[in-house]
Structure 1
Amino acid sequence: MALICAALSAALSPACARAQQLRPDQQRFRALYQQMIETDTSITTGSCTELSDKIEAQARQAGFGSSEITRYGVPDHPKEGGIVIILPGTSKTLKPLLLMGHIDVVAAKREDWTRDPYKLIEEDGYFYGRGTTDMKAMDAIWLDAMIRFKEQGYKPKRTIKVAFTCGEETSWAFNGNAWLTKNRPDLVDAAFALNEGGIAHTDASGKLGIATIQVGEKTVENYQLETFNAGGHSSVPVRDNAIYQLSEALLKIRDYEFPIQFNDVTRTYFAKAGAIQGGEVGQAMVAIAKDPQDRAAAAIVDRDRSLHAMLRTTCVATLQEGGHANNALPQHAKATVNCRVLPGSDGAQVLATLTQVIGDSAVKITRDPPKGPTAKQPPLDPAVIAPIVKVMAKYYPGVPVLPSMLTAGTDDIFLEAIGIPCYGVPGIITDADLNHIHGLNEKMSVKALYTGRDLLTDLIKAYAG
């Protein structure tokens, strides 16, 4: 980058001028981040294997040997391979630290974006490109830390592992974490793992609020609702209509609220976050943490859709199709209902609830094969939580850091199923719009990225010793 920029004037290339102001180690990191963004790893047009090749080359150049690098994949999915890199520790008693990083991204179409989604573009204090936030920022930080540790001769007490995987952003492709936990659990065996899922974002005014450590998540479940009918000519309609019948079933699901269900993490979050926030909502959060049956408090809390989702299992219609001709009564209608299930419940229980709520045996309800195991709640381990709180205080003093449950899902489920607790760390600050994750013109604050790099590197060292 520096050689290219040297040939250009700062007036013609502001991005180059900014890059030249970086320290040499930051310039190397930026180039590594750029390489990750500009390697398309979407399931439709990209290749995780290609990026894994580049990661391996970087690791070998830093001095990692063949015994410290493992490539994996399956012949049926040649573009979805991953890589595990290990930096051995000196302790024979401390279990390893695992850094998790999915390298696949949600697909992006050039015609939809303002800029090329697979080019790293720096404008007005932001990096733009698919994966700039989810989650190649953290991927680049993990790899950069491992490279620097190796080059510097750093000898951690605790072995450090990093697993770059594919398949997190899809439910039907090859999943690296699923394969590793089933076929090579030794590669990912660890005392605990750090992953995405922690959240720290500014509000509309740019103020950073509460930062959350992900301690647990929901299980993703999908259900198919179908109705069938003999149909007929549309000129003689009848009330017995497959689309109407399906619609009535979906409206019953819309109107049903799963009961409030606290666990140790959500109860702690509501009590502490509510006390910090104050006001009507904060008071209601504290009240409902004490008494989940407090309907008045629940009504206030439920105005915030994120808090609403954290309190209960949720189900929502996401896809619908029906009929076969403009002038014919529908013979078949189908809809997908996507549910996010609280730890402690499972897909079979939700299926039974949906069946009861709909109350119509003519509506066929089937559960899709689960993506993976049911989510488990990791412990609120002070040995894991305290270092995150301490390091966050160094970089963002005065910002409260609390454990919270993610209402979405990650690949933590595979590791937790074999006894490895996983935690999402909030080291990279996002904007109020969550940096357009999964959407158009995904972005990452330049300042937040470089600060997050330093913060997460310090966190790794705090755990590794």
Structure 2
Amino acid sequence: MAGDSVRAAEDEVVDLCRELIAIDTSNFGDHSGPGERVAAEYVAEKLDEVGVESRIYERHPGRSNLVARIAGADPSRPPLLIHGHLDVVPAHAADWTRDPFGGEVADGCVWGRGAVDMKDMDAMMLAVVRERMRAGRVPPRDIVLAFLADEEAGGTWGGQFLVEEHPELVADCSDAISEVGGFSVTYGADKRMYLIETAEKGIAWMKLTARGTAGHGSMVNDDNAVTELAEAVARLGRHEFPIRLTKTVRVFLEEVCEAFGIEFEEDDVEATVARLGPIAKMIGATLRNSVNPTVLDGGYKANVIPGTATAQVDGRFLPGLEDEYFAEIDRLLGPKVSREFIQCLPAVETEFEGGLVSAMSAALRAEDPGALTVPYCLSGGTDAKSFQKLGIRNYGFSPLKLPPELDFAGMFHGVDERVPVEGLRFGARVLDRFIELS
């Protein structure tokens, strides 16, 4: 019976993914987009069809979060939280080969914004839960499902909102799984390692402000806010932070180098990473702290020197290095430029050990014998940053078996985002096994 149920989930997951992609949930960083309400109502309907009650929570109209709880066989065990976000970054259709909100199946893939970030996992969650409920297959422990808003802008209206105003929904969960982990990297003849996210860099989106003396553009002015800001931004943009190998990154490099059969050159880590093929860019971003200027704004007329000028920067810091990071940022800014946070979220790191990790490895090996699981650090951020505040251990585990030629890292926020159909079907099988083993 379990085999029939899993096959049904495989059959359904592709259509669910397509239908979710077709619901535009573009997040522009404010409330100007369509919001997540339509997608949340779609999920609620799909859960209701199989007898799962859910509820939608909102801090702002239309910015919707859906939470459901499925009773497990052993109520004495702490629940497992499985969460995904419903919002996506915007897409400019003219840049795409196919309609970014078409959910089209072509060339063996489902195309569209959110295909890998992260409506693929949302679809897996729905497909597996729906078929387990239809087959009467009770999970070993309670499962809490959360489909969240606003992850692409830091989670103010999503994960942060739930943790701050409705912690009782998830506070008894011991562990959580979500996006950007469990995907394969091919390293030999039909050999794959699966990267499990156990850490991620902290986020510091900052607004910088320089103040000076306003005046006529024809006059000599040695207190020019634009000049001060431009110099500070240039210092930030050109600065190279030192390489700092955190525990997760070191373990990852040691295990991956062994698998690839290459030497781990600790004196030249970047050269080692460069030999890792398609994942080199993703891993290279976790070797050091970083800051990138992204927005400049100052003045309103060519012959008027403004009194203030502003910029925005995207800062990322490694676990355990937050204080060091901001001390260096302030040194680079200098005394005449102030900073304030647009969004500041902590770095996250947990151990790659225990029953949950064993369940991930076993579920993957059951579908891909010889699968090697390794921990890694994500350079971006996820809703794990919110849930870790409640003491929940977070892992990135959205299983996908990928063709070696696919630039998976390039799919995130990229043009022509797509996910392989067979990868989705594989993910549904693995997720079902994982739930059974967890």
Q: Compute the TM-score of the two structures, normalised by the length of structure 2.
A: 0.86
Q: Report the counterpart of residue 48 of structure 1 in structure 2.
A: 36
Q: Report the counterpart of residue 310 of structure 1 in structure 2.
A: 286
Distance in 1, matches of 2:9 and 2:343, equals: 43
Structure 1 regions of 5+ residues with no counterpart? Answer: 1-22, 289-295
Alignment counterpart, residue 321 of structure 2, candidates 345, 354, 365? 345
Q: Report the counterpart of residue 144 of structure 2 in structure 1.
A: 161
Q: Displacement, 1:205?
A: 11
> Is the counterpart of residue 457 in structure 1 residue 436 in structure 2?
no
Taking every aligned residue pair, what percent have the same amino acid on both sides? 27
Conserved in 1, the CA contact under 8 Å of 2:188 and 2:260?
no
Q: Displacement, 1:104?
A: 1.1
SS at match of 2:348: coil
**Amino acid across the alignment from 1:401:** T
> Is the counterpart of residue 185 in structure 1 residue 157 in structure 2?
no
**Larger deviation: 40-49 or 25-34?**
25-34
Q: Report the counterpart of residue 349 of structure 2 in structure 1.
A: 377
Q: Displacement, 1:407?
A: 1.2
> Is the counterpart of residue 69 in structure 1 residue 54 in structure 2?
yes
Conserved in 2, the CA contact under 8 Å of 1:343 and 1:376?
yes
Distance in 1, matches of 2:36 and 2:67, equals: 13
Structure 2 regions of 5+ residues with no counterpart? Answer: 1-6, 275-279
CA offsets 1:401-446 (integer angstroms, 9 cap, x no match): 2011111111101111111101011512452243622122221111
Distance in 2, matches of 1:26 and 1:229, equals: 62
**Structure with greater Cα Rg:** 1
SS at match of 1:145: helix
Alignment counterpart, residue 396 of structure 2, candidates 421, 424, 431? 424
Q: Displacement, 1:208?
A: 6.9
Q: Report the counterpart of residue 262 of structure 1 in structure 2.
A: 245
Conserved in 1, the CA contact under 8 Å of 2:348 and 2:388?
yes
Conserved in 1, the CA contact under 8 Å of 2:282 and 2:409?
no
Q: Displacement, 1:309?
A: 2.5
Q: Report the counterpart of residue 264 of structure 2 in structure 1.
A: 283
Residues 9-408 of structure 1: pairs in structure 2 closer than 5 A:
26-43=10-27, 44-64=32-52, 68-74=53-59, 77-171=60-154, 174-188=156-170, 189-198=172-181, 200-201=183-184, 210-230=193-213, 232=215, 234=217, 241-279=224-262, 282-284=263-265, 288=266, 296-298=267-269, 300-301=271-272, 305-329=281-305, 331-346=307-322, 349-358=324-333, 360-362=334-336, 364-372=337-345, 374-408=346-380
Cα 1:145–1:203, aligned 2, differ >3 Å: closer, same or farther? closer
Conserved in 2, the CA contact under 8 Å of 1:378 and 1:416?
no
Conserved in 1, the CA contact under 8 Å of 2:236 and 2:332?
yes
Distance in 1, matches of 2:249 and 2:264, equals: 16
Q: Displacement, 1:92?
A: 3.1
Cα 1:207–1:336, aligned 2, differ >3 Å: closer, same or farther? farther
Distance in 2, matches of 1:438 and 1:395, equals: 29
Conserved in 2, the CA contact under 8 Å of 1:97 and 1:191?
yes
**Larger deviation: 128-137 or 269-278?**
269-278
Cα 1:119–1:238, aligned 2, differ >3 Å: closer, same or farther? same
Distance in 2, matches of 1:270 and 1:158, equals: 34
Distance in 2, matches of 1:433 and 1:136, equals: 15
Distance in 2, matches of 1:226 and 1:252, equals: 15
Q: Displacement, 1:388?
A: 1.6
Q: Displacement, 1:211?
A: 2.2
Q: Displacement, 1:278?
A: 3.6
**Larger deviation: 387-396 or 54-63?**
387-396
Cα 1:266–1:204, aligned 2, differ >3 Å: closer, same or farther? closer
The structure, 1 or 2, with the larger RCO (C-alpha pairs under 8 Å, 6+ apart) is 2
**Larger deviation: 319-328 or 382-391?**
319-328
CA offsets 1:346-374 (integer angstroms, 9 cap, x no match): 3x65333212234x322x221315354x2
Distance in 1, matches of 2:298 and 2:428, equals: 49
Conserved in 1, the CA contact under 8 Å of 2:56 and 2:64?
yes
Q: Displacement, 1:299?
A: 5.5
Q: Displacement, 1:124?
A: 1.5
SS at match of 1:318: strand
Q: Displacement, 1:24?
A: 5.9
Q: Report the counterpart of residue 13 of structure 1 in structure 2.
A: none
Q: Count residues with an aligned counterpart.
A: 420
Cα 1:89–1:202, aligned 2, differ >3 Å: closer, same or farther? closer
Distance in 1, matches of 2:289 and 2:191, equals: 28
**Amino acid across the alignment from 1:265:** T
**Amino acid across the alignment from 2:49:** Q
Q: Displacement, 1:89?
A: 1.0
Cα 1:55–1:308, aligned 2, differ >3 Å: closer, same or farther? closer
